[in-house]
Amino acid sequence: MCGIVGCILDKKVAPTIIESIKKLEYRGYDSVGIATVTDTINVKKGSGKIKEVDDEIKLTDIDGNIGIAHVRWATHGNPTKENAHPHCDCDNKISVVHNGIIENFKELRQELIQEGHIFKSETDTEVIPHLIEKFMKEGNDLLKSTQLAIKKLIGSYALAVISTEEPDKIIGARNESPLIVGVSDNGNFLASDVPAILNETRKVIYLEDKEIIQLEKDKVTIMDINLNPLEKEIKTIDWNPEMAEKDGYDHFMLKEIFEEPQVIKDTLFESEKIKEIVSKFKNFNRIYFVACGTSYHASLVGEYLIETQLGIPTEVILASEFEYFQKTLDDHTLVIFITQSGETADTIKALKVAKPVSETLAIVNVVGSSITREAHHVIYTRAGPEIGVAATKTYLSQLICIYLLVAHLGENEELIEKLHSIHELSLESFDREEEIKKIAKRYKSAKDFFYIGRGFNYPTALEGALKLKEITYIHAEGYPAGELKHGPLALIEEGIPVVGILPPGASYAKTFNNLQEIRARGANMILLGAENDTQIDDVEDKLLFNSTIDEIIAPLLYIIDLQLLSYHISVEKSIDPDKPKNLAKSVTVV
């Protein structure tokens, strides 16, 4: 998970490169580092978030027109300064930043130590500069030495390398970790993700696994693993730099929640493309959804929708568990992969298992990401860049795509019409923000939370609980309303906050009764229900929604209030919701 940037300009590179790496901080914030090349390798690095490290050691206070930078999400070795990237060779002539995991690093490290190399960190990455050093000392140039080094690596990598021996270039390479090239008249860039380069250029080349890049000031050469040059298309990104800025909001997460009404509109524009994809499908007798985290919860909504609206047996499998189901795949199964980043390693691995046997469809936010290049069919969620680690607007855009998919599969015009009413209704969540803030203040010190929903809104309960855990560090559980009496009811005690999700619809009466059972045990109920529901008049903490929102479309709207609730509790607790501890936005390790 980690983010890397490489940049060549005809002026001092550090200010640009630090601005770029800030845009990747969502990928990791355990440490940050920069290296530039002049007649020496100049390195500045430290543990902690970019702002903290910059305040202490002034990261931009470093000369050189060519540089690399890194933000780390620790895998091998603690988040210390020593383990922070960039890492150098024995003579400090080569410097490397890396995102990924080198699985055979222990053997390589042992061999290199026996050959006399001195290691300064506990990271897997450090074998790379030492391998390059070894091959350069054998008489190879930087490009060839990097190629020889990566041929020895087992695992995933996106890397950028600089050297004092050839101070006019950056060598990059990728395998199973994302890496893009940004090209502009003012210089060239390498980065883990598009937001890092948006301030400089919107012209992007997407790299494939096992490709090697030589970046010079006025030239970009992309080669295969054997250094044969490749012709690559330069694509123009339709995201703009402002999309990756906070735009006056205190946090990206809040900005991204406020963008949701627009995201609904933008994603609905995908309707025709989805219809076209559906027309190419053959008849499936089973559907699998495969995803992780929030995308898994969106998939669960999909399961309820497909089974109730289309009657096709559907199962949702966590991507990390998918390999255990592979014998059940056949050519009458459609496997749908949902992923915001398109780079989640577990999901990519599952796609590689499913693709040879079954038809695959990916629902992805990041254009050009790894999964979009693997799946048979791709639907893009039109959420724009999401920087906050906690998924918000992308969840909603995934749901819109799933609803459209189901509507087109079932030729259900009524559902499509309903979806077009969502935008207006979503605006009403922001009218409830003051009420949500009051609830956040009241429950900020809670130790546990329960989220209860039924049917289509059981996944809403799970997602509400995940948002709370992620950004407030409060223990939270999402449960199907009918399941509490089979065990968890034992945990309900006086004053415990329970979020009840109670939209009108077929499941209303049963859910209402379950919630009453919980209230009877002393829980403090926070109810999300319809404004014309007189049965909940006596509940103190209520968020009341337009009564036209039934249980089928409630997952698209009730979640906005739950996202706001988690956000405001996080702020009340002085936690940075954009960068929750131990997490990173893009999980590129299995």
Q: Which amino acid, residue 566?
A: S
Measured from the Cβ of residue 582, the count of other Cβ atoms closer than 10 Å reads 9
Residue 251 CB partners (closer than 8 Å, separation 6+): 388, 567, 571, 576, 577, 578
Kindly tell me which of 201 and 392 has the beta carbon lying closer to ligand AGP.
392
Max CA-CA distance within the chain?
82
Q: How far is the CB of 295 from ligand AGP (least distance, A)?
A: 4
Distance CA 163, CA 66 (A): 10
- The first and second tokens of residue 426, run together, are 């979503």
Kindly tell me which of 462 and 484 has the beta carbon lying closer to ligand AGP.
462
Q: How far is the CB of 100 from ligand AGP (least distance, A)?
A: 16
Q: How far is the CB of 339 from ligand AGP (least distance, A)?
A: 3
Instruction: Find where tokens 């289509």 sit.
Output: 456
Instruction: Find where tokens 């990206």 sit.
Output: 252
Residue 489 CB partners (closer than 8 Å, separation 6+): 517, 518, 521
Tell me which residue has its CB nearest to ligand AGP. 293
Kindly tell me which of 69 and 364 has the beta carbon lying closer to ligand AGP.
364
Q: How far is the CB of 344 from ligand AGP (least distance, A)?
A: 3
Kindly tell me which of 391 and 407 has the beta carbon lying closer to ligand AGP.
391
- The first and second tokens of residue 349, run together, are 């691995």
Stretch that binds ligand AGP, among 122-130, 339-347, 517-525, 562-570 (CB under 6 A): 339-347
Kindly tell me which of 47 and 588 has the beta carbon lying closer to ligand AGP.
588
Distance CA 217, CA 113 (A): 35
Given the residues 2, 7, 292, 401, select the one marked as catalytic.
Answer: 2
Distance CA 489, CA 33 (A): 49
| CA terminus-to-terminus distance, the chain | 11
Q: How far is the CB of 584 from ligand AGP (least distance, A)?
A: 8
Q: For the chain, percent helix, then strand, then coil, each to nearest 5?
A: 40, 25, 35
Stretch that binds ligand AGP, among 45-53, 97-105, 337-345, 373-381 (CB under 6 A): 337-345
Kindly tell me which of 386 and 551 has the beta carbon lying closer to ligand AGP.
386
Taken in order 570, 576, 577, 583, is the CA torsion positive or negative? Answer: negative
Q: Cis check for the bond before 86: say yes or no (omega within 30 of 0).
A: yes
Q: How far is the CB of 381 from ligand AGP (least distance, A)?
A: 10
Are residues 583 and 470 in contact, defined by beta-carbon separation less than 8 angstroms? yes
Kindly tell me which of 294 and 460 has the beta carbon lying closer to ligand AGP.
294
Residue 476 CB partners (closer than 8 Å, separation 6+): 448, 449, 450, 451, 464, 465, 466, 468, 469
Q: How far is the CB of 292 from ligand AGP (least distance, A)?
A: 4
Q: How far is the CB of 297 from ligand AGP (least distance, A)?
A: 8
Taken in order 419, 411, 328, 351, is the CA torsion positive or negative? Answer: negative
Stretch that binds ligand AGP, among 334-342, 353-361, 406-414, 523-531 (CB under 6 A): 334-342
Within residues 386-425, the interface with ligand AGP by CB under 6 A covers 389-391
Kindly tell me which of 257 and 389 has the beta carbon lying closer to ligand AGP.
389
Within residues 238-297, the interface with ligand AGP by CB under 6 A covers 292-295
Given the residues 49, 169, 418, 585, select the one marked as catalytic.
Answer: 585
Distance CA 146, CA 150 (A): 6
Are residues 522 and 492 in contact, defined by beta-carbon separation less than 8 angstroms? yes
Tell me which residue of 511, 508, 501, 504 sits closest to 549, measured CA to CA: 504
Q: How would you class 82 by CB atoms within 10 Å of its CB: exposed for 0-12, middle for 13-18, buried for 19 or more?
A: middle
- Interacting residue with ligand AGP among 188, 339, 381, 524 (CB under 6 A): 339
Binding mask 433-472 for ligand AGP (x = CB under 6 A): -------------------------------------x--
Within residues 465-524, the interface with ligand AGP by CB under 6 A covers 470
- The first and second tokens of residue 38, run together, are 């002049």
Active site residue 585: yes
Active site residue 2: yes
Instruction: Give the CB-side neighbour count of residue 186, counting CA atoms within 13 A.
Output: 9
Kindly tell me which of 362 and 528 has the beta carbon lying closer to ligand AGP.
362
Residue count, binding to ligand AGP (CB under 6 A): 14
Distance CA 443, CA 447 (A): 9
Q: Is 340 in the site for ligand AGP (CB under 6 A)?
A: yes
Within residues 346-365, the interface with ligand AGP by CB under 6 A covers 347
Q: Which DSSP letter does residue 220 get?
A: E
The residues that touch ligand AGP, with contacts defined as CB under 6 A, are: 292-295, 339-341, 344, 347, 389-391, 470, 587
| Residues acting as catalytic residues | 2, 585
